[in-house]
Amino acid sequence: MPDQRFKTLDDMHDIAGKPVLVREDLNVPMQNGVVSDDTRLRATVATLTELADAHAKVLVLAHFGRPKGHASDELSLRPIADALGDVLGRHVGFLASPERHAVDALANGSITVLENSRFFPGEEKNDPALIQQMAALGDFYVNDAFSAAHRAHVTTEGLAGVLPAFAGRAMEAELKALEAALGNPEHPVAAVVGGAKVSSKLDVLTHLVTKVDHLIIGGGMANTFLAARGVDVGKSLCEHDLTDTANSILDAADAANCTVHLPYDVVVAKKFAAGADNRTVNVHEVGSDEMILDIGMSAVEALSDVLKTCKTLVWNGPLGAFEMEPFDRATVALAQTAAALTREGSLVSVAGGGDTVAALNHAGAARDFSFVSTAGGAFLEWMEGKELPGVKALEA
């Protein structure tokens, strides 16, 4: 979506001394009561510090886990508020219940986390009564959590309908990156889509063939497309019941002048294990007792040549079983090529999804991509061409 369709922090005025409700994503992984990955906490820094430095009373709204409307100590945001303070380098307060008099008592320039929004039964139902109760806490609403934007909940969508609504800096960056990637990209556009199953990304593939010039399919789902083309994939992970669907996607790609790239050489092994004996073969030489675990390097070289002709890249999912060596080689090699082209300035590269972020970090390539989204479901729904309620609600 074009960036002029939503207001940002640049459009906020006269906020000193006023309470601002900020939806962030604090749904971070925890181990033994300690945050084990603070990526999402770091994503909040730009917005929260900017608002606090403008002397607003910043009240952070967020969920944690799936409490289903019931409060529990295990899913309280209190320890995460402390961790957020460590990341921000300033004190972060905690508010157990949504009461305006408590918000009014907060100091100007303070940052306070409100207890888990999903402790309230009306949150996930976008309940009008809870919307009004929450809205009474603040004078402005900022959504800085793209990763929750596919949910029409009180704190992600409902509040935007009753308070002046703005996109935070992380949300703004995400929307601008997505617009550059698929909304109004510079062609030619390539998309890398990997992962285990075609069934989980049917809508993504169906949408992308109408949007991109090159569709690179990897991971287990490539096996289903190879099988649809008559290739015997042996014991490989494959959804044989979806070969007709795969063929219909290939037909749609032909009609849309989208070139679909499937591997022609693959790495196979008889065991799914790190360091397993393996060999690289033509796709027509896979043994009946072998499984495809990665794309071969000849195919990777050809795909690298494709990327060199492109201006824009969208990446979601690994090319092989990247979690274990040596079946990470294709993902690492192609990611490093994309990173190098991005550094040169010839490619705009946008990636997203949990496995994707892990794979690009593993390849040492994430820092050189134009934008890496930590969003999972929201990123996938955007790739499917779906309207995201939390984004739609911000449109001016």
Q: Is the bond preceding residue 29 a cis peptide, omega within 30 degrees?
A: no
Tokens of 183: 């909304």
Helix (H) or strand (E) holding 292: strand 291-295
Picking from 259, 268, 258, 315, the residue whose alpha carbon sits closest to that of residue 294 is 268
DSSP secondary structure code for residue 387 in this structure: P
Give 278's strand partners: 269
CA distances from residue 74 to 77, 98, 200 in whole angstroms, order as listed: 9, 20, 31
DSSP codes joined into one string, 337-351 = HHHHHHHHTS-EEEE
Return d(Cα 168, Cα 161) in angstroms, integer: 16
Return d(Cα 60, Cα 38) in angstroms, integer: 16
Picking from 181, 62, 150, 125, the residue whose alpha carbon sits closest to that of residue 377 is 150
Exactly one of 40, 57, 151, 169 is catalytic; name it. 40
In the annotation, is 354 catalytic?
Answer: yes
Exactly one of 197, 235, 270, 311 is catalytic; name it. 197
In the annotation, is 279 catalytic?
Answer: no
Beta strands 30-31 and 34-35, pairing class = antiparallel
In the annotation, is 68 catalytic?
Answer: no
Looking at residue 99, its amino acid is E
230: Cβ contacts below 8 Å, ≥ 6 apart: none
Helix (H) or strand (E) holding 281: strand 278-282
Exactly one of 354, 364, 367, 386 is catalytic; name it. 354
In the annotation, is 220 catalytic?
Answer: no
Return d(Cα 223, Cα 237) in angstroms, integer: 7
Exactly one of 93, 183, 234, 377 is catalytic; name it. 377
130-140 burial by CB neighbour count: b if 16+ within 10 A, else e? bbebbbebbbb
* Residues annotated catalytic, as ranges: 40, 197, 354, 377
